[in-house]
Structure 1
Amino acid sequence: MAEKAILFDTTKCMACRACQVACKQWNELSAETTKCEGTYENPPDLSHKTWVKINFTETERNGSPAWLFSRQACMHCTDAACVKVCPPKALSHHELGMVTYDKDLCTGCGYCVDACPFHTPRTNRNLITGIAKMEKCVMCTTPGLDRVGNGLEPACVKTCPPLALQFGDRDTLVNEGKSRVSALAAKGYSNAYLYGENELGGLHVLYVLDDSPQVYGLPVNPKISGVTVATQSVIQPAGMLLGGLTIVGLGLNFMVAREAKLAKEPGRAKKEK
């Protein structure tokens, strides 16, 4: 089955933020309390109830001020740090390539938050129970709200007025993205780039950029940190081993203590003789 992806064309985005509204509506996410910060950009960041956000970057082009618009949400990496470090395996890869999430398995440990090179996952802690849960975009694959599994586009793609978002087979979108980048280069955008084709094994959200990634606030060469690798290959296995040894030790301690107690019972020694 062909992997799916979203192609985001920054040159078509007009920052209407219809994608933000559609995401909230479809995924039944509540609104944020915001305030005017001198820009139409809001809310200020992703949160447990805001899974996609359009970022505004003020820059200068040809001596005049200009705005650049970019999409902030889960990138659905092939080599996903969040999947690697999640102890209860609440995060996993869907058969279509995107990173899905089983909220019931999440323990709120926050490893995914620290590991993600794009700083996407967000956690929310219940002040009464103390239980924390992570939240992020799952590309509309949540059970009961699964658009993709029912042959539909993700809500953000469906609602995008300028067609800056496109959903389809990843290979097809990579070719489309390359074509658009070539067209931009022909128009003089020498730094035009297709972001996500190769980064972290290939992202399932691809960006057509008319300038370099750092201009749009994207890491130039995103990598999984050494701490993440150590967590997966050393710390977690060692923790499981120590946990197992602790259980065995407690069991042996119980058996020894029980035998000692029985040995002190009146009449036991005579009976054994």
Structure 2
Amino acid sequence: MSDDLFAGREGPAPASGYPQPPPRMGFFTDTSVCIGCKACEVACKEWNLIPDDGFSLLGMSYDNTGMLGADTWRHVAFIEQDRPLGRQNNAVALMPVGPSATEHNHALVGTGLGDRHGARLGSDTGATRVEPDPSRLPPAPVTPDGRTELRWLMASDVCKHCTHAACLDVCPTGSLFRTEFGTVVVQEDICNGCGYCVPACPYGVIDQRKDDGRVWKCTLCYDRLTGGQEPACAKACPTDSIQYGPLDELRERAARRVDQLHDAGMPEAHLYGADPDDGVGGAGAFFLLLDEPEVYGFPPDPVVTTRDLPAMWRHTAIAAVGVAATVLLAFAGGRR
């Protein structure tokens, strides 16, 4: 097992051999303000020179990438839900909480949510009521059965840069390594294509390219970080859905954002991957979700897949000693 498995709350970099690392950096993705523009996907591909991954819609609404892979390091999921959202004549928009000047951008997160949940909207909650323009409201009903309720959940997925990264434990060449920022990076020139890290990832992030077998994934733009720049996807995000910074600060900001959404009548808002006591020790890229993790394709209770390796090696050693003792006893008995 790597020393990374025993990383404490101060972050995984010291346990990986960095005596005085910079603050641990990461992503906070606020899905409540994601508009599905895919600017993050495009910026990721352009900066990292990632090949295209096809141009088919895959039969999955507007999702032309489907999932993370060797040629998709950022994936924007489009989840269309048929569920009640309240009256169509009461639109509510929430102001995102972000560090940059794009805080003024509004993202429509639902219609009628305020009235349905008895939300208290106002400056004290960080939310703003937007009076709808009657001329721009959709006609009702919009379907033959009179249904007018529909919502989209959009989320930009990425490698989680786990605190306890199983991919590091199984890599035999050192291609995967922990950076001083606490992120996990693949060195493609060292990767031998063994593929051990692919099933080791609890999120199904790592993938092999078909032409050469090597693995590829998000590096959190390590080359940009070393130059003091933010990752390309966060730089391109127009709504601050993807926020980059010191992980501790992002967790505090995310907790405040959840409180704001709860006050605004969205009790389903919660954080995923922000808990340092979860099965992977907390993620370096975590999310604010508006539904259960499974809806977004996330495992509900991820665990580091190599957590049982020490016990397995101990059991293997004990079994080997037992077999050897049995052979010796049998050999000695045969000689007698």
What corresponds to 2:76 in structure 1?
54
In percent, how many aligned pairs have the same letter? 37
What corresponds to 2:51 in structure 1?
30
Gaps of 5+ in 2: 1-21, 86-148, 317-336
- Contact kept, 8 Å, 1:55 with 1:72, in 2: the verdict is yes
Counterparts of 1:224 and 1:212, CA distance in 2 = 20
1:135 matched to 2:156? The reply is no
- Contact kept, 8 Å, 1:70 with 1:216, in 2: the verdict is yes
Per the TM alignment, residue 62 of structure 1 is displaced from its structure 2 partner at its CA by 1.9
Could you say what secondary structure the match of 1:105 adopts?
Answer: coil
Matches within 5 A, 1:85-96: 85-96=170-181
Matches within 5 A, 1:62-81: 62=84, 64-81=149-166
Aligned residues: 228
Per the TM alignment, residue 61 of structure 1 is displaced from its structure 2 partner at its CA by 3.4
**C-alpha spacing 1:165/1:10, structure 2 compared with 1 (3 Å):** same
Could you say what secondary structure the match of 2:29 adopts?
Answer: strand
What corresponds to 2:252 in structure 1?
175
Higher alpha-carbon deviation: 149-158 or 205-214: 205-214
Could you say what secondary structure the match of 1:55 adopts?
Answer: strand
Counterparts of 2:166 and 2:82, CA distance in 1 = 35
Among candidates 214, 219, 222, match of residue 299 of structure 2: 219
Counterparts of 1:232 and 1:107, CA distance in 2 = 25
Larger Rg, first or second structure (1 or 2):
1
Per the TM alignment, residue 234 of structure 1 is displaced from its structure 2 partner at its CA by 5.1
Q: CA RMSD in A?
A: 2.1
- Contact kept, 8 Å, 1:7 with 1:166, in 2: the verdict is yes
1:98 matched to 2:183? The reply is yes
Could you say what secondary structure the match of 1:24 adopts?
Answer: helix
Counterparts of 2:29 and 2:210, CA distance in 1 = 32
Per the TM alignment, residue 153 of structure 1 is displaced from its structure 2 partner at its CA by 0.5
- Contact kept, 8 Å, 1:192 with 1:212, in 2: the verdict is no
TM-score, structure 1 normalization: 0.77
Could you say what secondary structure the match of 2:199 adopts?
Answer: helix
- Contact kept, 8 Å, 1:85 with 1:231, in 2: the verdict is no
The list of structure 1 runs, each at least 4 consecutive aligned residues, that deviate by more than 6 angstroms after superposition, is none
Gaps of 5+ in 1: 239-273
1:40 matched to 2:121? The reply is no
* Amino acid across the alignment from 1:9: D
Counterparts of 2:255 and 2:54, CA distance in 1 = 39
**C-alpha spacing 1:125/1:170, structure 2 compared with 1 (3 Å):** same
Among candidates 217, 232, 252, match of residue 155 of structure 1: 232
**C-alpha spacing 1:132/1:88, structure 2 compared with 1 (3 Å):** same
Counterparts of 1:151 and 1:104, CA distance in 2 = 25
Per the TM alignment, residue 215 of structure 1 is displaced from its structure 2 partner at its CA by 3.0
Counterparts of 1:107 and 1:229, CA distance in 2 = 24
Could you say what secondary structure the match of 1:201 adopts?
Answer: coil
